[in-house]
Copies of this chain bind each other. A is one copy, B any other.
Amino acid sequence: MRVRPGGGPQVRPPPTLATVAAAAGVSPATVSRVVNGVETVAQEHRIAVQEAITQLGYVPNRAARSLVTRRTGSVALLVREPVGFAVSDPYVGSVIVAASQCLAEHGCQLVVMMAREDDDTSAGEYARAGHIDGALLVSLHREDPLPQQLLSAGVPIVACGRPPMDLPGLAYVDVDNIGGGRLAVARLLETGRTRIATVAGPADMTGAQDRLRGFRAAVADAGLNPDLVATASFTQASGERAVEQLLAAHADIDGVFVASDVMAFGALRALRRMGRSVPSDVAVIGFDDIEAAQYADPPLTTVRQPAGEQARAMVEALMAQIRGEEPRGQVTLTTSLVVRESG
């Protein structure tokens, strides 16, 4: 094919290393050295090359580079969730944004891949095809074979949150969910609540279970009943339903710890519908501190997890692994209480 058939205006091919070398009057090797910041190049040549580069608008071809260096400069973010969840959950969204920013500082790109029911192997193959230097794993579920696959293929990975399966070598960055649950209960106790319930997340996600553990421990410590528990699935609708059930069974509940802000929005709605005022009748405390929490009605008191910090820690851990350093393994970040009006 000499000319693109229906293609638009003819575009001349982008300049290559050789073009630059010719323009600067040096060898391709020298240009490569300048581009890669190798020190042993005479000042005079360095300048000539740099001028040629800017003048020609040269940009190194990544495919060619990665073919020889075995590094691609991109990192995958694998969301192991059947679609939509990732982007519909604001906390995950924040992690994605922050990770993307942080990777950019390392000169890396983020490739976002979501799980697909019909083709569960594609992510693994993609990684193994060498199109990626490493991967960030989000929303892992217990039976997912992917982490094991990547681990044994030697692909550097870091999980977001403590993974639900038992893989000793798997690095992760978690937040202190147990402590977060305790924090919420402590606040409810402080404000004089004595019938404290919780809306927990799914049973196969470690974060959700840890929050529940923290809740139970703190409530039991206070000598109260730790079994006012309803389970939901991190969506607003499920949170709404869970609170309805809780109040139907125990009309005297005066405080609820809801394991995510999005579910807490559902909880607020259910309470309003059932004629309870927040926080005077029932206090509500969420988890995440997503942006919308401050715009809820009333503004949501919540346990803050540091999305940005978590993303940053994950990226740093991953970059270290990619550089071949011994991974630091597991990191846990602290959570904190943000007091607003709901509880």
| Interface membership of chain A positions 102-131, coded 1 if the CB is closer than 8 angstroms to chain B and 0 otherwise | 001000011111101001001001101111
Docked pose: A116 CA to B87 CA in angstroms: 20
Q: Is A8 an interface position by the 8 A CB rule? A: yes
Q: Which residues of B contact A126 (CB under 8 A)?
A: 109
The residue in chain B whose Cβ has the minimal distance to the Cβ of A3 is B324
Quick check: B83 and A87 within 8 Å, CB to CB?
no
Docked pose: A297 CA to B96 CA in angstroms: 29
Contacts A63-B63, A97-B114, A111-B110; A295 near B104 (Cβ below 8 A): no
Quick check: B297 and A62 within 8 Å, CB to CB?
no
Docked pose: A87 CA to B59 CA in angstroms: 29
Q: Which residues of B contact A265 (CB under 8 A)?
A: 295
Q: Is A325 an interface position by the 8 A CB rule? A: yes
Q: How far is the CB of A59 from chain B (nearest CB, A)?
A: 4
Q: Which residues of B contact A324 (CB under 8 A)?
A: 4-7
Q: Is A169 an interface position by the 8 A CB rule? A: yes
Among A130, A265, A326: residue with most chain B CB under 10 A: A130
Q: Is A61 an interface position by the 8 A CB rule? A: yes
Query: What's the number of copies of this chain in the assembled complex?
Result: 2
Quick check: B63 and A83 within 8 Å, CB to CB?
no
Q: Is A37 an interface position by the 8 A CB rule? A: no
Contact of A6 among B4, B66, B325 (CB under 8 A): B325
Docked pose: A295 CA to B269 CA in angstroms: 8
| Interface membership of chain A positions 237-273, coded 1 if the CB is closer than 8 angstroms to chain B and 0 otherwise | 1001000000000000000000000000110010011
Sample of 10 more A-B contacts, CB < 8 Å, known A4-B324, A266-B295 = A8-B154, A8-B169, A14-B128, A14-B153, A63-B67, A88-B90, A93-B93, A97-B114, A100-B112, A109-B131
Sort A-B residue pairs by CB-CB distance and give the 6 closest, nearest first: A11-B154, A87-B93, A6-B326, A63-B66, A59-B129, A62-B131
Which A positions have Cβ atoms within 8 angstroms of B? 4-9, 11, 14, 57, 59-64, 66-67, 72, 74, 83-84, 86-88, 90, 93-94, 96-97, 100-101, 104, 109-114, 116, 119, 122, 125-126, 128-131, 152-154, 169, 236-237, 240, 265-266, 269, 272-273, 291-292, 295, 297, 324-326
